[in-house]
Amino acid sequence: MNVRRLVAATHWPVALLALAISAAAPAQAQRQAGPGRPTDFLDPGFHRARREALRQQMPAGSVAVLFAAPVRNRANDVDFIYHQSPDLYYLTGYDEPQAVLVLFKESQSIGGQAGVTEAMFVQPRNPKAESWTGRRLGTEGAKQQLKLQYVADNKEFATAAIPWSSFSQVLFTELPTDVRDDPRDPADLYNLIATFRQKSSIPADYSPDLAQAHQLIQKYGVQAASNLRPMLTNMASSQPQVAADAYVQAYLKAETDDARQKVMATRPAPSRYDGTTLNAALDELRAVKTPEELKLLRRAIRISTVGQQEVMKALRPDMAENEVQALHEYVYRRYGAEFEGYPSIVGAGANGCILHYETNDKPRIGNDLILMDCGAEYHGYSADVTRTAPPSGKFSPEQKQIYELVLAAQDAGIAACKPGAEFQAPDKAARKVVEDGLLKLGLIKTAAEARQYFPHGTSHYLGLDVHDRGSYGPLKAGNVITVEPGIYIPEGSPCDKKWWNIGVRIEDDILITPSGWENLSKDAPRTVAEVESLMAKPSPIDNYKLPELK
């Protein structure tokens, strides 16, 4: 899947903490609110180790607060299927709404219980509601199955004796601002957030963006001024509080390193309310996958590669884009993947030149290339695999030339994946191949023009989010990243018409190992010969015919 925010090319360097990663690898075990669920969820010991790794990196005297994700309405009285905040899921395994986790650097006495370092407030059991929308863990279930130290009904969050004023720092991730207030529920997410803001006395005008801008200036104000200045200018263009801040403006006006040093010495005292440090800590922690995480991620990726294989065997010019999408997603469900990691991108011909084409409603894909960017989500972990194939079973000469150029660029990008390499190394290697290749084919006259046909970066982290958390610093063993160069030549491009409407992307999921890399998605055919050979094989659905609708 292409990087939605072009994060591989523009991500801010906000790695502010280095976290110790536990080497423990608890076994996977069943976690369920009811009978009959899968038995290979992450073990509560995994989540406990992640909480402790995060807590150990919290500043002395601090408290950290993380909320469940909001329930999202689809239309009228129908909600989208609930998806938990990946951060909360990573730290607890809890996958229900209306909840909040509180971590204490030093142990506290909460609800008459001494020595508490973690407190979770969850929605209570409700037999009537559960008969409509499914089972809940409740407080006892959360204690027993998730092994949380202190668990209480979410209604108790408002009266819990948490000594908010005693903490030197209050850490939190971005607080949702578009949450519905259910008047029937006094402890829904809306009220949990309001209680937190009121109890901890967070100023109404607190701006995490401004706090981040101050941190970036302190960390990169001299050593990376050429990159930081346009970054801050961009922040100021969309964030009024950043634009109006005297410290930021003084830094932007400073023209020399000496002048910047003088400005940096005048930094305002950091607020005790910190909406940035916890994000940076989770970036570092989640970027390095543990063995048990890799087991689930490998499963999601393997399922996705089987989807690519089976669809290639079934492809025909008379198929519809959404029919191709359905085949991918059937394979996912057949192997136990609960969801897609992101909306499937299945674009034929001109649609393949739209980076995030998700409509998938072309009724006949024809003989143009079809770009299939699809990934299964297995127990929260998302794959991200793209293949491009000719529905006819054979690449045309022009299609083959563009495809093999993208493949050569991807090979160069993958070869650049090794521990210690800068995160941009795969992108730089792939981009050079594309530039040289497009010049040779005569599609461009200067290397700079290549960005017209290759407008995105090659890589992002992969895990609980398809664009997972990460510091975007040097690559480390345990990182899983994508390498996904592409060339897109829409109709009307300033080149020979024979290239028009060719869109090619090839994407693989790469594990950084201690000595190099491993292609986790290698089972999906990559070369022209492999793709054409697989497409010549029969498919189980070749003789599957549905009745005509009248």
User: In this structure, are 188 and 253 located in the same domain?
Assistant: no
User: In this structure, are 149 and 246 located in the same domain?
Assistant: no
DSSP state of 451: G
User: In this structure, are 184 and 323 located in the same domain?
Assistant: no
Q: In terms of pLDDT, which residue wins out, 45 or 32? A: 45
CATH number of the domain to which 339 belongs? 3.90.230.10
State how far the Cα of 40 lies from the Cα of 314, in Å rounded to an integer. Answer: 31
Answer whether residue 246 is part of any domain: yes
Q: What is the pLDDT of residues 186-222, one digit of tens each?
A: 999 999 999 999 999 999 888 888 988 998 998 889 9
pLDDT for the residue 209: 87
- Share above pLDDT 70 across residues of the chain, in percent, rounded to a whole number: 94
CATH number of the domain to which 79 belongs? 3.40.350.10
| pLDDT at residue 11 is higher than 70 | no
pLDDT for the residue 1: 60
- Give residue 25's pLDDT band: very low, low, confident or very high (50, 70, 90): very low
User: In this structure, are 257 and 305 located in the same domain?
Assistant: no
For 245, the domain range is 208-270
- Residue 535 phi, psi (nearest 5): -70, -20
User: In this structure, are 367 and 388 located in the same domain?
Assistant: yes
The total number of structural domains in the chain stands at 3
pLDDT for the residue 31: 53
Q: Identify the weakest region by mean pLDDT among 16-20, 124-128, 327-331, 443-447.
A: 16-20
User: Which of the residue ranges 6-10, 176-180, 380-384 has the most confident prediction, judged by mean pLDDT?
Assistant: 380-384
Q: Identify the weakest region by mean pLDDT among 86-90, 97-101, 151-155, 172-176.
A: 172-176
pLDDT for the residue 207: 86
User: In this structure, are 416 and 307 located in the same domain?
Assistant: yes
Half-sphere exposure in the Cβ direction for 304 (13 Å, CA):
33
Domain end call among 154, 172, 200 = 200
pLDDT for the residue 322: 98
Q: What is the pLDDT of residues 356-412, one digit of tens each?
A: 999 999 999 999 999 999 999 999 999 999 999 999 999 999 999 999 999 999 999
| pLDDT at residue 177 is higher than 60 | yes
Please provide the DSSP assignment of 96-154 as one string. -SS-EEEEEEEEEEETTEEEEEEEEEEPPP-HHHHHHH----HHHHHHHHH--SEEEEG
Answer whether residue 452 is part of any domain: yes
State how far the Cα of 289 lies from the Cα of 477, in Å rounded to an integer. Answer: 9
| pLDDT at residue 34 is higher than 80 | no
**Can you tell me the mean pLDDT for 288-317?**
98
pLDDT for the residue 464: 98
- Give residue 233's pLDDT band: very low, low, confident or very high (50, 70, 90): very high
Which residues are within 8 A (CB) of 175 and not within 5 positions of it... i.e. 6 or more apart? Answer: 67, 193, 196, 197, 275
Answer whether residue 481 is part of any domain: yes
pLDDT for the residue 430: 98
Q: What is the pLDDT of residues 309-324, one digit of tens each?
A: 999 999 999 999 999 9
State how far the Cα of 71 lies from the Cα of 94, in Å rounded to an integer. Answer: 15
Please provide the DSSP assignment of 313-357 as one string. HH--TT--HHHHHHHHHHHHHHTT--EESS--EEEEGGGGGSTT-
User: In this structure, are 475 and 328 located in the same domain?
Assistant: yes
| pLDDT at residue 326 is higher than 60 | yes
- Give residue 271's pLDDT band: very low, low, confident or very high (50, 70, 90): confident
Answer whether residue 33 is part of any domain: no
User: In this structure, are 95 and 237 located in the same domain?
Assistant: no
User: In this structure, are 168 and 102 located in the same domain?
Assistant: yes
User: In this structure, are 221 and 126 located in the same domain?
Assistant: no
User: In this structure, are 384 and 525 located in the same domain?
Assistant: yes
User: In this structure, are 253 and 341 located in the same domain?
Assistant: no
pLDDT for the residue 32: 54
**Can you tell me the mean pLDDT for 411-438?**
98
